[in-house]
Structure 1
Amino acid sequence: MQPAFKSEFSGKRVVVTGGTQGAGHAVFQKLAAEGAQLVTAARSAPPETMPEASFVRADLSTAAGAEALAHAAQERMGGVDILVHVLGGSSAPGGGFAASGDEVWQAELDLNLMSAVRLDRLLVPQMIARGKGAIIHTASIQSRLPLYDSTTAYAAAKAALVAYSKALSKEVGPKGVRVNVVSPGWIYTSAAEAMVKRIAQSSGSSEEAARQSILEALGGIPIGRPALPEEVADLMVFLASDRASAIHGAEYVIDGGTIPTV
């Protein structure tokens, strides 16, 4: 009899933020299929297919939300081996820098930077104590190519996340904990599709014309399309695996060639 296949993630305890939609949900599904134990959190209800034991209703842009998720991970799994931060986004108004007041800036920083910083403070010490762990932070190519009309604060928060990740990698790498950053370009999530529909409706154009307008705003994507959530998830899952054990303190861009320099 052939021995049963054992995945490299079998028994691994994983926290994924933003795991109920988009790239975060794709990461969640891939790791679940590989036998990992998982906990995620969101403000809204989880997908019907997500096990109840894997979900915590929490707002991770707040300190209380981070504490709720960390507590659930400890109670349900006994600790965390892998931490994948995918949560992020922007709700800033259009109109350039002058349109965003202190409240907008604070909200963007809390969601895109402090959500990771707070959760790391709560969960990484146990990785250090064991002498092993993996952390993936999700930044954005907007840290290099900001779209100034409405995402200046988002871009600044993601740039800060990259700098924080590098500093963290220098501190915890010698203690056995790996830290890497994934910086996607445009990902064609359900939210991105909804945005395309809104642009098409407001401009009276087709959805294809709306998609093209976004591509032009980004300066073009050489492969001609945004990345799919599953493609971004594949990169994150690889970086979280033991196959990437020598990869540390690095930033991986997955943008279809949008950034025009190496």
Structure 2
Amino acid sequence: MAGRGLRVSSNKTECLLLDFGGNIKRLGMLTKKFPITLEPTEKHEGEELLKECPSCHRLISIFAQICPECGHIFSLGKQPEDDGEAFEQEFGELFDDETLKRVKYARSQRKTRFSKQQPPDKLWELFSDKHNQDGKTFLHNDWLFGAVFGGRDNDFNRQRFLEYLEPFAPKNDRTKAQWLKHHLELEFGKPGKQYRTGKHTTTEAKIGRNSKLEWWEILQCSPGSTWEEIKGNYRELCRVYHPDCSGFDSTIEMQILNLAFDKAKLIKG
């Protein structure tokens, strides 16, 4: 295994240090003095949003797929799933045991259909076949609030949901807009309406985006852009959304950027 060599000398001895991990380059010589304290190390705001590029050792956004400084391409591991367990437990407090079974079935089917990219409207037919045999049990729309994203309403989750809904939407533009709005309100709530999420907790739905952004709009290019142009724009936008430059938590912006980049990669990469 090769390493970078650094020769250290004194009046009596001389030795060669192998800097395998690049630690000396980043942290300084072994003789450098570091303050030692028993107190917890203070974590600076924004550090949790950064990762180190293994090629140029720059700190960049943890979401960046390409280093904006040197162009290093990161290998992507399995992306974490949204954890809505706490939301589900609180939401479940609203119902008696018999109703809760039906609610859990409806919500799990809603999330499964999203994850497997299956038609959303089929849920009502499935629910009716399973639970509406006496003609008295219906699927209430409010049961589906937060079923997919656990009540987290932001532009990234709305973009993902719109990407899922669009292939199944009606072709007529006016009907399509109403259909998309209906499904978005089932998940994120009708703006201004209070939703009970537990026996003693409520949340108010807010106004959110009801239309999908195209990948080229997010990457600030055109549908005809080359793959090299797309990668160049992506790197530049990673610089813009770096916490040191943006001055705010740019997690949502970077997630939307990656969503668009992944789609562009399928088409152009």
Greater RCO structure (CA 8 Å; 6+ sep): 1
Structure index of larger Rg: 2
Q: Work out whether the TM-score is over 0.5.
A: no
Higher share in helix:
1
Normalising TM by the smaller chain, what interval?
Answer: under 0.3
Structure 2 length normalisation: TM-score?
Answer: 0.27
